[in-house]
């Protein structure tokens, strides 16, 4: 088992269940480095998987998780996160 990313231990996300954090972590990790086209193909099954596992995120949980991830990311990672978020909104 990999060590938890630093953002998962951030106080911002302390109230979010571990299962949700792991899902988000997997999504961001697997989405890393994908093109916009690949991102679309990637996001659909991830959203479906979340639904199947009854994982729903409140706007507060998403905001806290994104803030924590951004806080612990490099400049390149921040660009990738923005790309993922842009696709997720569409």
Q: Which residue in the block uniquely carries the two structure tokens 């978020």?
A: 85
> Among 29, 8, 40, which residue's Cα sits nearest to residue 81?
29
| Per-residue pLDDT at 60 | 92
**Integer angstrom CA distances of residue 72 from 35, 40, 46, 76:** 22, 25, 23, 12
| Per-residue pLDDT at 13 | 95
| Per-residue pLDDT at 62 | 87
Q: Is the pTM of this model over 0.85?
A: no
| Per-residue pLDDT at 72 | 87
| Per-residue pLDDT at 36 | 74
| Per-residue pLDDT at 17 | 93
| Per-residue pLDDT at 86 | 78
pLDDT along the chain (90 residues), means of 10: 80 93 86 78 85 91 90 86 74
């Amino acid at each position: 088992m990999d060590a938890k990313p630093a953002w998962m231990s951030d106080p911002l996300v302390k109230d979010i269940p571990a299962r949700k954090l792991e899902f988000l972590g997997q999504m961001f990790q697997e989405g890393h480095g994908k093109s916009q086209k690949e991102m679309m193909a990637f996001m659909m099954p991830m959203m479906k998987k979340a639904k199947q596992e009854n994982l729903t995120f409140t706007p507060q949980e998403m905001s806290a998780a994104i803030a924590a991830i951004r806080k612990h990311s490099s400049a390149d990672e921040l660009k990738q996160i923005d790309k993922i978020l842009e696709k997720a909104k569409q």
